[in-house]
Homo-oligomer: A and B are copies of this chain.
Amino acid sequence: MQPTLHDIARETNTSVSTVSRVLTGGASAARIGQATRLRVIDAAHRLGYRPNLVARSLRTRRSNTVALLVSDIANPWFGQMASLIEQSLRHHGYSLMLCNSGEDAQLELEHLQLLPSKGIDGLIVVPVLCTKNALTEVLPADLPLVILDRPIPGILASVSSDQEQAATILCDTLQRVGVERIAVVCGPQHIVTHRRRNELVSARFDVIARHEGPAQRDTGRQAYIKFLQIQPDAIVCTNNYLGQGVIDALVEADNPPTIGCFDEIAMMDLLPIPIICSVQDVPLLAESCVRQLLPQLKGEEIKAEALVLPTRAVANRHFQSLLLARTQPA
């Protein structure tokens, strides 16, 4: 059984409050006699005292913990994001509680219902399905909240990338190499990023085929098989996971299409196909996210503006040579 303040008090012939004051070590710790203080500290050390954070949290209504609810922790993009957010929060004295909704709306709801009663100080969420109403209904109004990656109309504290700009640079670059007819593989349309990317790209090209499914590698694989007959100039994927799936299935192709993808494709320079990605600035997203949350945690009623960050286009070698061949026709 873990020792409590009570044990230390008994051990040192003091009272619980004295021990508490010494050990929480704030302003009140200074007002404690040097002798007793040392005695308490020593005893705490000897007994291996660790404050019961549950009790403390119940009493103070603070836990120095913020939860991050991501939509799919198996997706490396969110893994990187989580890692960066955790680091940033830690430097500000908060620890992160990472949760996963697995792109499942039902599960997301359960998490949103449960998390506030777990005594978190704040919440960052990558929403799957929830609207502003759903959120405000299930979440305490005073819970510090930041929406990440998938902005929700009416919620100001949010950080995301500029999908319009992302699609524009992606499409522009694709057009520069002569792409006209494309196939699109996209994630679920109820997710704003997938829907928006799909819409924006569809407005720019002649979409001769489309495949929609869960934002998993397998969806990409299936899509490619479906596209096999059609011979599109390019396949555009609404996220990295789908892109990976398409490329995975591409092995047999003798005349592989160009790949346009939102977010990064790993090792793409070595892949023998033209790839152009519109990549988000993950570290900046993470940092901005924390920056939006902190003032809320401190109770400052700063009206956070919904933050929308630019993306940049990254082409692999094969795509670059395509570009070169276009701009400098022999």
Contact = CB atoms under 8 A, between A and B. Distances in A.
Contacts of A53: 114, 117-119
A114 B64 CA distance: 12
Given A54-B117, A87-B102, A117-B54, A269 B244 contact: no
Chain A interface residue number, banded: 35 or more
Interface in A188-245: 244
Given A58-B54, A251-B269, A272-B272, A83 B74 contact: yes
A271 B271 contact: yes
Nearest to A104: B87
Given A76-B79, A78-B79, A100-B82, A244 B272 contact: no
Nearest to A58: B54
Residue from A73, A75, A87, A248 with most neighbouring chain B CB atoms (10 Å):
A73
Contacts of A107: 90
Nearest to A248: B267
A270 B269 contact: no
Interface in A75-122: 75-76, 78-80, 82-83, 86-87, 90, 95-100, 102, 107, 113-114, 116-119
Nearest to A107: B90
A244 B271 contact: no
Contacts of A90: 107
A327 interface: no
B270 A250 contact: yes
A51 interface: yes
Contacts of A131: none
A114 B102 contact: no
A267 B241 CA distance: 11
Contact of A102 (B75, B76, B83): B83
6 contacts: A50-B116, A54-B57, A73-B73, A79-B79, A86-B102, A271-B271
Given A95-B114, A248-B266, 8 more contacts: A50-B113, A54-B118, A74-B76, A74-B83, A76-B79, A244-B267, A248-B270, A267-B271
